[in-house]
Chains A and B, each alone.
Chain A
Amino acid sequence: MNHRKPELVCPAGGLPALKAAVDNGADAIYIGFRDDTNARNFPGLNFGPEETARGMEYAHRAGKKVLLAINTYPQAHNWAVWTSAVDRAAELGIDAVIMADPGLLRYAATHYPDLRLHLSVQASATTYKALEFYHQRFGIQRAVLPRVLSLQQLWHTIANSPVEIEVFGYGSLCVMVEGRCALSSYITGRSPNASGVCSPAESVRWEETALGRESRLNGVLIDRHGLNEAAGYPTLCKGRYYTDAQAYYAIEEPTSLNILDVLPDLFHHGIAAIKVEGRQRSPAYVASVARVLREAIDTCAADPARYLVRNQWTAVLDRLSEGQTHTLGAYHRPWH
């Protein structure tokens, strides 16, 4: 086995989270500017120009990289906002830009041939042919794959891919193909592709009623919780709906992805990087997850044949998970 150890890529929604990631073992930290050019456009989150520079300085001093997500889809009326984000990224000397929009990728490849490009999960590339497209046209060097392929399909894609592959390793789970989901804009008018948000906070309402605590998204009832039930954030695909008699998690239960069980396989097949979801989460979350994954990756690298998931890792990660539980998601066939 000659594969190098995969990079651990951690999220940061602000400077404290970035420092937490650097201090707890991330190899690279991905961030976004404070606007709708990235897929975590939440109030109070993300980086202004000065914070970006300070974050980069902090990370670079520790020998870590900073990646910038400009991974939503610009439209005619706001095209210039996205190109100026690319300009700023290039001026700052960011280590790589994570992008999805083909027009914007062409802009970056033409104007900044030395800027390293990663294909965002929002580009929905699930085959090596799609990856060839982005590689040949724009010179992307890495791609983040949507959370839809089974392990066998993932191995095949890696084996034939012209670029490095990064996969999600831990965090909240998009059950839909990223970049191919307009459910949020159908209800609220804002979607990940166009606005960088899903189930946006300004559309959320909580109401205590005789039937229980209700969560609504732009007026639509997402879920109704009994007195002793934990009520999570009403992401629309994690609500309870019905097709027949009984309301159930028709789309997905509240749970988080966790790939610790298959880490040796990911090493074996040459995965380049493992990504943690959660730029909207706290610095404490980033620190805990980075620490566990750092230890797991290092343990696996030292002796993959004897690698075992430690109960303590699982306990820490489950505590931080939606619904306090985890899944292998699409990597595991029965999930489909």
Chain B
Amino acid sequence: MKISLGPIHYYWSKENIEQFYRRAEHWPVDIVYLGETVCAKRRALRSADWLDIAARLTDAGKEVVLSTLALLEANSDLLQLERICANAHYLVEANDMSAVHLLAGRGPFVIGPHINCYNAETLSLLADLGARRWVPPVELSATTIAMVQNTRPETMETEAFAYGYLPLSFSARCFTARADNVGKDACELRCINDPEGRALFTQEHERLFTINGIQLQSGIPCNLLNETVAMSEMGIDIVRISPQLAATEFVIRAFHAALNGDGGSPVEYDSPACNGYWYGKPGMQFSPVQGD
């Protein structure tokens, strides 16, 4: 199995983004997804800056994929999407049907986790249009994914969201701005101050969600490190690690070790994690590995 580094969900400064990917050149990841998927207002990097990063990562032997917005609202969002889809060098990850429409019949592309591909019929339809890899929606269970795997088109690769805060929902509203009691139009890109999102707690101090601008994520990270054997048996081709400002390298090396036969016994996590969706349960739950 390969390891991919998913798109950065948060808003980081240009320096942080560039430093992160300079380090990533040396990490044992095979595929790197670049670009903004959450909010069109986040423009710390221009397209040319992203392409510079893409070129360096390609030189470092990584496969680069340009990722795209999940929620498009303004016409300018659509124009930007058209530019990305028209690029001649890199695969594109579609996260909205607008992107699928623009990419259809123009060569291979990737179905991101925000495309609602819940069954084999939809996957086969998307394959006919040129999709060659899909990231199942995060709420799909291992059992469901395995059933789709049984009939997936021959050229299709499957990439599972294996580590990180789960992207659970999108809104027109910015919850970061709302938390600070300002409107989205006056947000001043304040989410740059939350490089790992902002924790949302219940009145009993349980960390329920993570606010990331217009996106809500899980309150604790999903961690499928102990499922790599099962994933391999199901024919999953790629595990996706979702970037955090800190500790991403540690996570990547842990997965790399597990995938290379170094993961003898299940890892005891020292921080809360969830894997409920994988077992067909509420996503926030955690089940120990179900081995034999």
- Chain A residues with CB under 8 Å of chain B are 73-77, 79, 100-104, 106-107, 123-127, 129-130, 132-134, 136-137, 147-150, 153, 156, 175-177, 179-183, 185-189, 191, 193-194, 218, 220-224, 239-244, 247, 250-252, 330, 333-336
How far, in angstroms, from A76 to B152 measured CA to CA in the complex?
12
Contact (Cβ within 8 A) B183 A153: no
Closest residue of chain A to B74, judged by CB? A153
B147 to chain A, nearest CB (A): 3
Would you call B200 and A250 a contact (CB within 8 A)? yes
A102: which of B72, B125, B201 is its contact (CB, 8 Å)? B125
Please, which residues of chain A bring their CB within 8 A of the CB of B102?
Answer: 129
CB distance from B148 to the nearest CB of A (A): 6
Considering only CB atoms and an 8 Å cut-off, how many residues of chain B contact the other chain?
Answer: 71
Residues of chain A lying within 8 A (CB to CB) of residue B123? 103
Q: Do the beta carbons of A182 and B168 come within 8 Å of each other?
A: yes
- Measured between beta carbons, the chain A residues less than 8 angstroms from B125 are 102-103, 106, 137
A136 to B129, CA, bound (A): 13
User: Could you list some 6 contacts between A and B, CB below 8 A?
Assistant: A103-B125, A124-B96, A149-B73, A182-B166, A187-B284, A333-B183
CB-based nearest A residue for B149: A76
Q: Do A133 and B98 contact each other (CB < 8 Å), given the known contacts A77-B144, A182-B137, A189-B281?
A: yes
Q: Are A74 and B185 in contact (CB under 8 A)?
A: no
A241 to B203, CA, bound (A): 6
Alpha-carbon separation in the docked complex, A129 to B103 (Å): 11
In the assembly, what is the distance between CA of A74 and CA of B166, in Å?
Answer: 22
Is there contact, CB below 8 Å, between B144 and A130?
A: no
Other A-B pairs, 15, CB within 8 Å; known A103-B124, A181-B170, A250-B178: A103-B123, A124-B97, A126-B72, A130-B101, A133-B100, A153-B73, A176-B170, A177-B71, A187-B283, A187-B284, A189-B276, A224-B203, A240-B203, A243-B198, A336-B172
In the complex, A189 Cα to B287 Cα: how many Å? 14
User: Binary interface profile of B, 96-119, with partner A (CB < 8 Å = 1, else 0)?
Assistant: 111011101000000000101111
Residues of B within 8 A of A220 (CB): 202, 206, 208
- B101 close to A243 (CB less than 8 A): no
Nearest CB on A from B77, distance (A): 8
Q: Which B residues between 194 and 214 are near A, CB-CB below 8 angstroms?
A: 198-204, 206, 208-209, 211
A250 close to B137 (CB less than 8 A): no
Q: Is B75 on the interface with A (CB-CB < 8 A)?
A: yes
Instruction: Kindly list the 10 A-B residue pairs having the minimum CB-CB distance in the complex, ordered from nearest.
Output: A103-B121, A76-B147, A103-B122, A148-B172, A133-B101, A336-B184, A186-B283, A73-B118, A129-B98, A181-B169
Q: Are A221 and B203 in contact (CB under 8 A)?
A: yes
Chain A residues whose CB sits within 8 angstroms of the CB of B201 once the complex forms: 241-243
Which of these, A147, A175, A183, A247, contacts B168 with CB under 8 Å? A183
**B179 on interface, CB distance cutoff 8 Å:** yes
CB neighbors of A among B146-199 (8 A): 147-148, 150, 166, 168-175, 178-179, 183-185, 198-199
Given contacts A102-B122, A103-B122, A333-B183, contact A176 B169 (CB under 8 A): yes
A194 to B138 CA separation, bound complex (whole angstroms) = 12
Cβ of B282: which chain A residues have Cβ within 8 Å of it? 185-189, 218
- In contact, B179 and A250 (Cβ under 8 angstroms): yes
In the complex, whether B139 has a CB less than 8 A from a CB of chain A is yes
Determine the chain A residues whose CB is within 8 A of the CB of B96 once the complex forms: 124, 126-127, 130
B residues in contact with A77, CB < 8 Å: 143-144, 147
Q: Determine how close the nearest CB of chain A comes to the CB of B192; give it in whole angstroms.
A: 16
B144 and A76 contacting across the interface, CB-CB below 8 Å: yes
Contact of A182 among B75, B126, B138 (CB under 8 A): B138
Looking across the interface, which residue of chain B has its beta carbon closest to that of A185?
B139
Q: How far is the CB of B187 from chain A (nearest CB, A)?
A: 9
* B97 contact set on A, CB distance < 8 A: 123-125, 129-130, 133-134
Of all chain A residues, the one with the shortest Cβ separation from B122 is: A103
Nearest-CB distance from A55 to chain B (Å)?
A: 29
Residues in B with CB closer than 8 Å to A75 are 118-119, 140, 144, 147
Query: Does any Cβ of A come within 8 Å of B92's Cβ?
Result: no
**Minimum Cβ distance to chain B for residue A218 (Å):** 6
Q: Which of A100, A136, A194 has the most CB of B within 10 A?
A: A194
User: Closest residue of chain A to B284, judged by CB?
Assistant: A186
List, in ascending order, chain B residues with CB within 8 A of A187's CB: 208, 282-284
Interface core residue of B102, B148, B198, B284 (most chain A CB under 10 Å): B284
